[in-house]
Chain A
Amino acid sequence: MKEDIQSCLWQGFTHSDSNDILNRKLFIFTGKGGTGKTSLSLAWAKYLIKKKRKVLLNDIGQNLNFDLRRTLDIPYLNLDLKACMKDYMAHKLGSNIISNWIMDTSFFISLFKILPSLGYITYLGKIIKMLQEEQSLTIVIDAESSGHALTMLESPFNFKDIFLSGLLVEDLHQIINYLSDQNNTAIFTICNPSIMSITETQELMQKFSDLGILQVYPIINNSYYKTGIDNPPDFLKKKINLEKKSLKDTGFEEVISLPHLLELEEIKIVNGLANQLKEMFN
């Protein structure tokens, strides 16, 4: 039974699913560090914009790659965890003054530092509210790497048993419903074609599925095999063989993979990836 679920999970998505995925509103990119989450989320946003969608990109307030985003003309959603929390408290308590006051006391500063989950919950809540209020909007999140992205997405689930009363409860259920809804949310977990990287992605997918979040799609990035080099030198042949072996050993052969792009500049990599996505989804 468990194996069935797994082989189903590992399959990623086929061409027939791609339209369905494309129509969703919230896209979250996560995965192991250094696999190209940021490049891919920029490429994805770029691709959607080309399709005339109204897109906002956010990286959980890290505000990275300012220049790159501007060159690519991708609108940024200026939101960070603290601002979301402040906003949320003001809304719930019906007063900006009180919210501003309490959020700057050392008690609350410490509280949010040691319980990042509270920030994550209000952040997700804010994003989902925006999406619900404006039907034509799409949000792409360049999330943190596996463990921290899991902490973020787990937060509403972990806290629903703790917030049995209070103003937060209803919002929590809304967040959970939105995240688990196949029509709204898609999570892409990015990995490299190596055993370690794939294993980490599989562990992560398992944990998401335990939470009831099933619309998680793995993407293999940086594949030299996909680059399609005719007659590669010996060391690259070895590398390509290792890639193939890793995919086979982990049951990831069917998962969509993107080529290692032979470019030096990030902007060219993002544009190259956007073209790859276009081919894949059109």
Chain B
Amino acid sequence: MKPSNKNKHIEIFCGTGGVGKTTLATSRALYLSRTGKQVLVITIDPSKRLKQVLGIQESDIGNIKTINSNFFYQRKNAKETSFDALLMAPLETLKFINKLNNISNDLQNPILKILMRPSGGLNEIMSIVELNRHLQSNKYDSIILDTPPGQNFIDFLEAGEKIHNFFDKSFMEIFKRFSHHAGPKSPGLFSSLVSGGITKLLDYLEKVTGNIFVNNFIDAMLSIYKAKDAFLEALAVQEYFKTSKLCDWYLVTSIEQQKISDAMLLKTNAKKYINDNIHLLVNKSLTPFLEKWKLEDDDDDQLLHLKNILSTREQRFRDMHSYGFKKIIFFPEILGDSPRQHVFELNKAWEN
């Protein structure tokens, strides 16, 4: 299976919380779909903002939904386009892997349920699996990824390492034993362990947490272990991240927040996992409004102060040219209350 580079492109939106990653990622999807591309936008962010931005129902979470451009605007003679959107639901991803590989699992396991919650510990790992699945499907020209904020973005980048850790030697030891047994439903899995340091470890764990936890935990791990091929295959995605021909990075910031140092820290921490194709997106820029705003001679000091403050905030981002970004793109603040309107207006800003 040779990937055709031209047709596989990933665009990753990252940044601190509340800067508008989801809205900008969606506007990018709309824009690309209007240029004739087949686009999928995936949001990993557990806050599920895409739900509001795209009008996706709770029941659609975890399934691909096609969004028509006339959801955002309706104009006569305007060419209709569409793109696909997916809100990550780790449980749905696991169900898909299970079905594909003919694995049967007890999805009622309480630990598995906790692990598969949107903010559970496997969210980032599952999104790597999901991304790989859509890359391999060859259905899309572009896949846009809306990542969780801050440290959780780093968790996402480290997902590969986590997968390695997860299936690493000593952790696998216990599961190898279990896989010889009848399956997760067989009783006394715990007691079937007879030797080795792992027994001791589980013994200590059981003292603190009780044996119900330990048994449930082992069953949950076994469920995941059964799907390990899908996880290990997904490691291929890490190579895409590092290849500038295949993957573009968009670091999103917002004038409203002024978190320049946080954004730079994110860039530094991400460095070893990504390539040099990093664009800085500056959202909610007031420059167009400030340029039009002429102070009158009789305006008071408060307005002068206001204009100075707002202009300085804009300038701070313009000064970031020297930090090695491929491009800095400003997106205007949209003065409207509907998320659709935001997406539509921002989609126009990509044209320039």
A235 and B286 form a contact (CB under 8 A): yes
Assign chain B's interface to a size class.
35 or more
Contact across chains for B339 and A196 when beta carbons are under 8 A apart = yes
Contact sample, A vs B, 13 pairs, CB 8 Å cutoff = A32-B47, A92-B208, A98-B204, A109-B165, A113-B121, A146-B47, A148-B46, A159-B114, A159-B213, A200-B49, A229-B303, A242-B337, A264-B313
Point out the residues of chain A lying under 8 angstroms from B335, CB to CB.
235, 238-239, 242
Max count, chain A CB within 10 A of own CB: residue among B17, B150, B206, B211: B17
How distant is the Cα of A230 from the Cα of B300 in the complex, in angstroms?
Answer: 9
- Assess whether A169 is interfacial by the CB under 8 Å rule: yes
Q: A230–B299 Cα gap in the complex (Å)?
A: 10
Residues of B within 8 A of A145 (CB): 17-18, 47, 149
Q: Is B272 an interface residue (CB 8 A)?
A: no
Tell me which residues across on chain B come within 8 A of A192, comparing CB atoms: 18
Residues B204 and A89 in contact, CB atoms below 8 Å apart: yes
A113 touching B162, Cβ below 8 Å: yes
Task: Given A106-B170, A166-B206, check contact A233 B293 (CB 8 Å).
Answer: yes
Contact A162 B111 (CB under 8 A): yes
Given A115-B114, A117-B114 in contact, is the A166-B209 Cβ separation under 8 Å? yes
- Asked whether A110 lies within 8 Å of B293 as measured between CB atoms, the reply is no
**Residue A22, interface by CB 8 Å:** no
Given contacts A34-B17, A106-B165, A233-B289, contact A93 B207 (CB under 8 A): yes
Contact A148 B152 (CB under 8 A): yes
Q: Is B110 an interface residue (CB 8 A)?
A: yes
Chain B interface residues (CB < 8 Å from chain A) = 16-19, 45-47, 49, 52, 110-111, 114-115, 117-122, 149-152, 162, 165-166, 168-171, 174, 197-198, 201, 204-213, 216-217, 254, 256-259, 286, 289, 293, 299-300, 302-303, 305-306, 309, 312-313, 333, 335-337, 339
A116 touches B149 (CB 8 A): no
Name A's B-contacting residues (CB within 8 A).
32-35, 62, 88-89, 92-93, 98, 102, 105-111, 113-117, 145-148, 150-151, 158-159, 161-169, 192, 194-197, 199-200, 222, 229-235, 238-239, 242, 245-246, 249, 262-264
